[in-house]
């Protein structure tokens, strides 16, 4: 990286606070013991600011997956200023570029430039000026424009409020300064940076191979639910990243709870039919690629092709019936219920057949699907 391309204030800040922690933490532990309450508060602050980034900067502003009450926006913006990751406008601008040009030169944190580039080196470069066309909708939001214009002040004041409050609560300003500010920032930064680095390298591509994003369940625990990144890059306008109820996605749960108490609305979710279709289409493509390139078995190729087509046909039939069922009045719906039950049974039978075909191809040497 040439020196004229380096963004010196960010570089000095990021490297500087890591060095500060490396020196200050051993000195602190030589003279003090960390209390459970201070540790708990630090973790709680990591979560509060991490969720503000994922529920606010990411799912609310970058992808518009739901609408939030202004009070929620204000709280999210306060904690995302505490998170010290740049203004919402700049963050969303870069993130929209990331999705539009993922894995290419125009992706600001492309994993193709290396793990550490995607993790944090990209931030040391001078940021691309904001293209107003890319965030025109966000520039109409007065709170976002204010936060962008006075970002430095918002960041310092919000962090001072947090640090002084924790210091006052525990009567330990030195501990609060070290843990509730800088250790918290260290943990938060690296867990959010994992989304650009680890979530593009370590895991499985369940929904699409068109991009490098992967699903990684361990990563979900560290990234407030953002570890289902292959799903997210495939269906970015879904407010969920983990689509099953048991998937660890606290950001999704927070948005859902807010909607239940009237503080969020218009939650966007991709239909199960679309998700299933994407899965079948993607798996069929991968299976055929493997059969054609390394197995060379025309019989197996036909089997994959026919089973995939039959499954997609069943899915279309089920979806058509379901759409009709939803539109007709309740008292007339009973006639369709039997047909729906049959269509669902047929879909399940074909799905079982499809699993057998996948197993058959997976038994052959080469890539596993
Ligand atoms: Zn990504
Ligand atoms: Zn995204």
Please give the Cα distance from 288 to 302 (Å, whole number): 9
Does the pLDDT value for residue 332 go beyond 80? Answer: no
Query: Which are the contacts of 305, defined by CB distance < 8 A and separation ≥ 6?
Result: 284, 288
User: Residue 99 Cα, ligand 1 centroid: separation in angstroms?
Assistant: 7
- Ligand (nearest to CA of 194): 1
What is the per-residue pLDDT across 157-191, written as a single tens digit (0 to 9) for each? 999 999 999 999 999 999 999 999 999 999 999 99
Please give the Cα distance from 20 to 186 (Å, whole number): 11
Q: Give me the pLDDT at residue 3, please.
A: 65
For the record, the structure tokens of 2 come out as 């040439």
Q: Are 80 and 57 in contact (CB under 8 A)?
A: yes
Phi/psi for 228 (5° steps) reads: -85, 65
Query: Which are the contacts of 352, defined by CB distance < 8 A and separation ≥ 6?
Result: none
pTM of the model: 0.90
User: Residue 164 Cα, ligand 1 centroid: separation in angstroms?
Assistant: 35
Q: Give me the pLDDT at residue 40, please.
A: 97
User: Residue 223 Cα, ligand 2 centroid: separation in angstroms?
Assistant: 13
Q: Residue 271 region, left (φ>0) first, then alpha (ψ -120 to 50), else beta? A: beta
User: Residue 319 Cα, ligand 1 centroid: separation in angstroms?
Assistant: 30
Q: Give me the pLDDT at residue 316, please.
A: 93
What is the per-residue pLDDT across 53-66, written as a single tens digit (0 to 9) for each? 999 999 999 999 99
Mean pLDDT for the chain overall:
93
Q: Give me the pLDDT at residue 1, please.
A: 61
What is the per-residue pLDDT across 263-318, written as a single tens digit (0 to 9) for each? 999 999 999 999 999 999 999 999 999 888 887 888 888 989 999 999 999 999 99
Q: Give me the pLDDT at residue 188, please.
A: 97
User: Residue 150 Cα, ligand 1 centroid: separation in angstroms?
Assistant: 28
User: Residue 226 Cα, ligand 1 centroid: separation in angstroms?
Assistant: 9
59 C-beta neighbours (distance < 10 Å), count: 29
User: Residue 212 Cα, ligand 2 centroid: separation in angstroms?
Assistant: 13
Residue 65: name the closest of 271, 275, 226, 264 by CA: 264
Residue 84: name the closest of 118, 42, 46 by CA: 46
Name the pLDDT band for 4 (thresholds 50, 70, 90).
low
Please give the Cα distance from 42 to 170 (Å, whole number): 12
Please give the Cα distance from 13 to 124 (Å, whole number): 10
Q: Which helix (H) or strand (E) holds 90?
A: helix 88-100
User: Residue 356 Cα, ligand 1 centroid: separation in angstroms?
Assistant: 32
Instruction: Name the least confident of 20-24, 146-150, 256-260, 320-324.
Output: 320-324
Does the pLDDT value for residue 368 go beyond 90? Answer: no
Please give the Cα distance from 185 to 97 (Å, whole number): 25
What is the per-residue pLDDT across 6-25, written as a single tens digit (0 to 9) for each? 899 999 999 999 999 999 99
Please give the Cα distance from 13 to 18 (Å, whole number): 9
User: Residue 329 Cα, ligand 1 centroid: separation in angstroms?
Assistant: 43
Please give the Cα distance from 184 to 42 (Å, whole number): 6
Q: Buried (b) or exposed (e) across 270-293, using 16+ Cβ within 10 A?
A: beeeebbbbbbebbbebbbebbee
User: Residue 111 Cα, ligand 1 centroid: separation in angstroms?
Assistant: 9
User: Residue 252 Cα, ligand 2 centroid: separation in angstroms?
Assistant: 14
């Amino acid at each position: 990286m040439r020196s004229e391309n380096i963004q010196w204030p960010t570089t000095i800040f990021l490297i500087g606070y890591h060095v500060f922690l490396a020196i200050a933490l051993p000195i602190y532990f030589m003279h003090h013991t960390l209390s459970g309450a201070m540790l708990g508060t630090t973790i709680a602050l990591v979560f509060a600011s991490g969720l503000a980034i994922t529920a606010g900067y990411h799912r609310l502003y970058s992808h518009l997956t739901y609408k939030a009450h202004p009070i929620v926006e204000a709280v999210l913006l306060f904690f995302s200023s505490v998170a010290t990751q740049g203004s919402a406008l700049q963050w969303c601008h870069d993130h929209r570029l990331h999705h539009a040009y993922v894995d290419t030169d125009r992706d600001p944190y492309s994993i193709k430039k290396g793990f550490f580039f995607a993790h944090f080196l990209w931030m040391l470069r001078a940021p691309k000026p904001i293209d107003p066309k890319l965030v025109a909708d966000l520039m109409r939001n007065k709170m976002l424009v204010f936060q962008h214009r006075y970002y430095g002040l918002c960041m310092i004041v919000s962090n001072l409020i947090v640090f002084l409050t924790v210091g006052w609560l525990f009567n330990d300003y030195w501990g609060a300064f070290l843990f509730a500010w800088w250790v918290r920032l260290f943990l938060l930064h690296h867990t959010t940076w994992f989304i650009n680095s680890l979530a593009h390298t370590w895991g499985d591509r369940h929904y699409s191979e068109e991009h490098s994003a992967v699903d990684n369940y361990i990563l979900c625990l560290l990234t407030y639910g953002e570890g289902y990144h292959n799903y997210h890059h495939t269906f970015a306008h879904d407010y969920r990243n983990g689509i099953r109820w048991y998937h660890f996605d606290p950001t999704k749960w927070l948005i859902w709870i807010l909607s239940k108490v009237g503080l969020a609305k218009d939650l966007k979710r991709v239909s199960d039919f679309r998700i299933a279709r994407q899965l079948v289409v993607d798996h069929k493509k991968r299976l055929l690629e493997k059969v054609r390139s390394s197995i060379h078995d025309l019989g197996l190729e036909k089997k994959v092709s026919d089973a995939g087509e039959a499954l997609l046909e069943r899915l279309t039939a089920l979806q058509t019936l379901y759409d009709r069922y939803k539109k007709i009045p309740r008292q007339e719906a009973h006639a369709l219920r039997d047909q729906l039950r049959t269509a669902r049974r047929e879909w399940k039978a074909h799905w079982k057949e499809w699993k057998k075909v996948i197993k058959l191809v997976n038994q052959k040497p080469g890539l596993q699907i």
